[in-house]
Copies of this chain bind each other. A is one copy, B any other.
């Protein structure tokens, strides 16, 4: 099991801002998984809660990926409150899973590590 966070690479966020967005996505996606698939969540936690951060070109590609993946795998889009660096409501990233590695890879296999 793993959790994948996909973050927009076009926003040029600072490393602290990136970390907050990724943590937000991680927690939100984990909450959904815990509620709807508790055994997957537990297994992921026990395995050490593996997380991978990938980057994606822009908002359009992120939304397109979200629309495809959410049919099959728990996923959540994160919008920033926009106090700093980006306007309020900006979509910054997506949390996916935790879910089975190979099923996530079918959607994200071509994306590069942040």
| Chain A interface residues (CB < 8 Å from chain B) | 5, 7, 14-16, 18-20, 22-28, 30, 48-49, 51-53, 81, 113-114
Contacts and interface: CB of A to CB of B under 8 A. Distances in A.
Contacts of A23: 5, 19, 22-23, 25-27, 51
Q: Report the copy number of this chain in the oligomer.
A: 2
Contacts of A114: 14-16, 19
A111 B48 CA distance: 29
Residue of A7, A16, A49, A51 contacting most chain B CB atoms (<10 Å): A16
A114 B84 CA distance: 14
Given A48-B81, A81-B48, A5 B19 contact: yes
12 contacts: A5-B23, A15-B15, A15-B18, A16-B53, A16-B114, A19-B114, A23-B25, A23-B51, A26-B26, A26-B27, A27-B27, A48-B81
